[in-house]
Structures are given as structure tokens and as C-alpha cells.
Structure 1
Amino acid sequence: MKLTVVGGGSTYTPELVDGFARLRDTLPVEELVLVDPAAGRLELVGGLARRIFARQGHPGRIVTTSDLDRGVEGADAVLLQLRVGGQAAREQDETWPLECGCVGQETTGAGGLAKALRTVPVVLDIAERVRRTNPDAWIIDFTNPVGIVTRALLKAGHKAVGLCNVAIGLQRKFAARLGVMPAEVHLDHVGLNHLTWETGVRLGGPSGADVLPKLLADHGDTIAADLRLPRPVLDRLGVVPSYYLRYYYAHDEVVRELSTKPSRAAEVAAMERQLLDMYADPALDEKPALLARRGGAFYSEAAVDLAASLLGDGGSAYQVVNTLNQGTLPFLPADAVIEVQAAVSRQGATPLPVPAVDPLYAGLMANVTAYEDLALDAALRGGRDRVFKALLAHPLIGQYEYAEALTDRLIAHNREHLAWA
């Protein structure tokens, strides 16, 4: 089995490699190819990756290359984890929206749109090159904004599934609080990428007993603290929203916070410099503890599980993924990309049935789906008016004066990445 990671020079990669090494019985990788245009970073990451495999006795071969076509040729699956513009572009995404009183964040709001505009054309070019060299390869997208990027891939006819680590992170936390193994916890997870709610927590599988009420009663204070939302909000909702819902439920409070402290991008950039210094140490042969603060917790386990299901012969396995709606949520278009539990096999991802969704959540999902329609149109066809319409449609913006000002800033800060600007 050959797997290729595009964006393999990311400081995330040792987390992924550690998972491949530990879970080699689940996913027997014979060749792992790390592709990245940043040759210096790639060699540092690739060296550590080889040492991790060696320490854990993994027999697979690790190849590094800046040649995308060479890297994806013959791959059974291609994982995308790229960041167009690097941390410098992320720093901009997180700062200029604040000038207009709007959340500055890399995956939602105006910053998220900027990232989508930079990223979608690059991802589609990569996917076309994969299809030319190996049309049977699966594309696993971990590149944000995952929902919009995955929708672009599926719209273009690629074999693609989107992946996020939010659900597996919550599964692991809930399992620890319930005193059970993670595999025993099945989430009733519903929404769009970075706009999701856990409406049930079941033990043993989709038909298991729902222990969410007990979980909230016994551990509500801890869960609320993790989400940075007031405990009474969780009690009134009776569900667990993802931490990204704080941008919607406490927008003005978040804007005030973000306006008075360094950006997350600045923190991550400093952390990445430290990590790369560590990776350069030839004695280091395991992922450093600092990597846990970088983000992407449990990404490796989620990626291994998904690749194993898509490439294996063991039938279907349940996993939260981003895939086509196809009537699962009847209030959204069939071609919307939703994030739900799905049965995943060599044929792809088939969403499990979802009970009727409370209008409180359905309404916000429908609003953000409409924004994603407009965002993808802007990413594919460009143009100031399309950017403006997408911003005006976003529930975190929604006023024409904000949309006008944000459009000007978005284009000014991203001109080098926008072919039409």
C-alpha cells in the first residue's frame, strides 16, 4: 500500500507518522511519500518520520519529494494537509476582519473565505494531477475549510472524503469521562464542518443507550469550560456544540478577546520554529510533547481509520466524515457537504440516518450552507461581487457595510493568490 501526504513538510506530519507506525496492523503502509515544495522543512520532517518508523519497528519506506506528480503516482490514497500562503496568510486572516468588528479566524467568517479562495484552485489542480496518474486513488482532505474544499473536489467528480479531528477529539474526551474505551462511544454528530452538535452520545453503537443527559449532568462544568461557554447554555440546549460554535453564540465577546491578544497564527508560528529545531536533532525519534499544543489532536487515528476503511476489504466501519448530503438532512441541498456519522467502505462514505434536527441548528446549517455555495462560486470563478455576496451571506457578517469593507481588505491581503484580482 502506498500513501502520499501532500503538505508532508507540515509540523503536523510526525503526528500522522506516529499513527501510521503504531497502527500498522490496521493500515499496513509499505510506502509513505511526503510531498512539499519547502525542501528544507521537508527534509527535517522526513528525517524524523524515518526515525519514528525505525524506533517502532515499522518496515515501511518513507520517501520525500518536491515533485507532486512523482509523489502521487501509484498512490492508493492521497492525504491533503496544505496551507496556501503559510502561517503569514493565516496571520492576516485572523487580524484584518477584526478591523471591521468581525471574528478573525482561519476557517470561518471572512478569514475562512479568504482561505477558501486561496486553497480551492490549488487543491483542484492537485486532484486533477492525481486523477491523471492514478484515477482510482482516494483523496482524503484535511485541508481547511474542509467542507468547502471537499465540496469542490466532489463537484469536480473526484473520489474524495473530508476529515476533521473535532469529532474524534470529543469521542476521546467523553470516553475518558465515562470510563469506557473510545471504540464504545458512538456520537450522534450532525452539522457542517466546524458547525456541529453532538445530539446524542451512545454506548456500543448507533442503537446503543444515549448517555448524553448523564454526561451533561455529571460533567457539564468541565465540558462547558472546554468549550468556553457558560454551563447554563449547555443545560438549556441539551447538546454539546463544537467549540467553533462559540464564534456564533458569543461573537462580540470573542471579537473583544481576539482584539487584545496575539493571534493564534503568531503562537503557532513560534511553536513551529521550536518544533523544526527539535526535528533537526538526529537523536529525536518520537513526536515531541510540544506537538500536542500545535493542534490536530487524534488526527492520525482518524486518518488511519478512514484510509483503512476506504482501502480495506473488511466491510463498512462507522466514522464521522464530510461527504455529500444526498437527502440525509432534507432541509439542505443534495449536493451540500455535511459532517455526520457514515458507513465507510471501499465504495466511499454513506451517511447514517439522522433524526429530525431542531430548527435552532437546522436554520444555522442552512444559512452557512448558502454561504458555502457562494464561497465556492467565488473560489471557482472569482470576482469582487461574488466575494461580496459570500461575505454578506455569512451569519457572522450579514451587514452590507461590513461586507464591503471586508471585501476590500480580503482582496488587498490576498491579491498574490487570486488569479483574477
Structure 2
Amino acid sequence: MAARTAMAEPGVQGDDGGFTLHAPEGTSYRVDIANGVFAADNPLLAEYCEGRRVVVFLGPTVNRLYGDQVRRYLTARLASDGWKVVVIGGGEERKTMDSIEEICAHAKAAGLDRQGVMLAIGGGVTCDLVGFAAAIYCRGVRYIKVNTTLVGQVDVGVGIKTGVNALGTKNMLGAYHPAHASINDPAFLDTLSPRQIRCGLGEIAKMAIIKDSWLFRALEECPEVFRRPCPTPFWLTAQGLAPRGVEDYVLRTAMALMLEELCPNLREHDLARLVDFGHTFGPVIETASNYRIAHGESVAIDMAISSELARVLGLITAEDCERIIRLIITLGLPVHDPQTCTAELMDRALTASWERRGRRLHLVVPSGIGSAVFVDDLEDAPSSAVAEALEALAARRADLPGPVMASR
């Protein structure tokens, strides 16, 4: 009788080098945290390529910042005829099926076979595009993500969803396609613009609001994290939670929370997902703004609307709602956009989510700092309550200190 290979226990295991996820349905993957990923003496990326033919895709900004390093690394670590670098366009407006076909055409021209690897180096858009292309090229090939933005490291880089915008809807077409490897190098964050950092902090705040009151407190006390050096709060040190500093604590905690929440429902068989907080009103706001509002900013506005709506519905105290709104603002993120935050458009967003989620709303709203509940029925989020929430946010835009509108 053939010996059986023991299955890993489902769950998320963390170590100094990152996290390993084993989903109950059998999917397993690794998210690495590595310094100097393109250093010639760092074997991690080359080992994941495993001597296979590699086509590397990066956007113009990443090519400008890291293109020479990438090419030197590949020259030092891989066979000279075993790789090719392709620069593709960036930006949310490029998340289309035309871009997917373009990526596949480059892969075919480079002779990528079914044993080959697509390597995406960049932010969420690049990784979404390359991941979806890899999912359908030759009915599926391996791909690797090197995540260079904060949003990429705490959100796109830890999940398995890929996709493009289509039919007037954000991420309408896509596939679940786990990456062969996903690598996060914190040093990449040093080259990000303030706006990119703010967008990443929006995704981190999302997990803090719904899952972790200590992470929430850390963001309250260190709102400039990743933008300038921040002393580690004493209470974090006393609890032994931040041996490598507050930046490492915030990054790792956000990644771990996302992975733990995704793990039991990796392919979304259950459409009630806490990680959809910030993603009911947000996609409509982002699309309606013609992507003037970035993803992290739309998440922030959604979180503000959802929090005020929870207050109106009596699901959260006014004090906790105030803390959430103030955190979003202190992080430099918007809580309202007059052009898109209309009662009519937000009602349409609720109806669209209700249709997409199997005729159940599954709207995630905070019930406290570090906890959340679902509003499951469309009639439980009446238009009058949505309008009251929007009015509260519109009024406080001029009342609260700090930037509240998106700025480049």
C-alpha cells in the first residue's frame, strides 16, 4: 500500500520570514517578508523560479526605480537565455481584458511554456493583471508576485484573487489563482509617495477596525507610520508585540489578520466576508470618479459611510464611531467626496452588492473598535439611514482638522 502524505493542519503559521497558509479546502501558499530581494546574494526569488523560463512584467515606475537591479539580479542568478523583462502600462484604467491579452502575447512571444513562470513586480494593478493572465494562459501557469506598494503587501499580496475591471464594474472578471510565491520587501515602502502610503494605511485600518483594537490603537498613536520614523509605543513593547519596531508590527499584524480571515473561506463559497468592509460603497465610488479616487481612498470613504450608518442604525456607539472617523482623517484619508457620495449612487451601490452577493447584502459595519457585524437584508439599510450617514460626513468635512479630501 502506498504511503499517504500527511496533510498540513489548516490555518496560518507565522515565522520570522513570513507566513504560510493552509486552507481547509487544500490550497497552500507562502507569503515571504524578505529584505534585499534583488540583492545578488539573496537566493529567495531565484529559488522560486526553479530554473524555469521566466517572463518578468513591471510598470514604468517600477522599471525606473528597480529595473536595473532586477536585470542585474536575473543576470547573476538565472541562465542568460531563461528570462525576459517586459514593461507594461500601469494605472487602474489599464485593468482591462486588452491588457490581459497583451501580457499573454508577450509571454507567447517569449516562448513561455506551461512549465514557465510569469513574474509580476509592482503594485496591486500589475499583480492583478499578471495573476489573471497567468490563470488563463495555457489554462494556467505559475506566477510570482513581488509586491512593491503598501496596498500590495497587506492586501493583494496575501490573497489569491486576480481580475480586471469590465462592464462598468470594478474587478468584474477574474479568477482565483494562488501565486507560486508572494514576496514583500519592506524597503520598497521607502520609495512610495505619501498618497500611496495613505492608501495602504486605509487597508490596514480596515483590518484594525473590524478585527484588532490593539492595531487600531497603534495607528491612532503612530499615524505617520511608514512616512517617518515612529517610536514604538511603550505598551506595545511591554506586551512584547513589537520587537522589531512599530512599522514591522503594523505590517505583520495587518498581513496576519488578512490571511487568518481569508483562510477558511479562500474561494469565497461563503459570501459573508468581514474583509469586504470598505468594499460595498467603495468600488462604486472609485468607478464613478473615473479612478480620480484611488482604491485605498475609496475604501476609507466606504469605511466612514459604513461606520456612520452603523451609528444611525444603533449598531455602534457614537464614541466608537467618532474614533473611527477621526482615525481615517488623521491618517490623511478622505471620509466624503461630494461628487460621488450621493444618496442615489450609494443606494445603487447597496443594490449592486445585494445582487452580486446572492440576493443578500452582507454589508460589513463596525460594532466597536476591533469588531464588526453584518447587515444582511437590503431593507435593514434604508435609504433614509444612508442619507443621514452621508449628511453627517458632508457636514464634518469642514469641522474636523486635517486633510479629508483625496490629494495627489
Using the size of structure 2 for normalisation, the TM-score is: 0.35
Whose helix proportion is higher, 1 or 2? 1
Higher RCO (C-alpha under 8 Å, 6+ residues apart): 1
TM-score by length of 1: 0.34
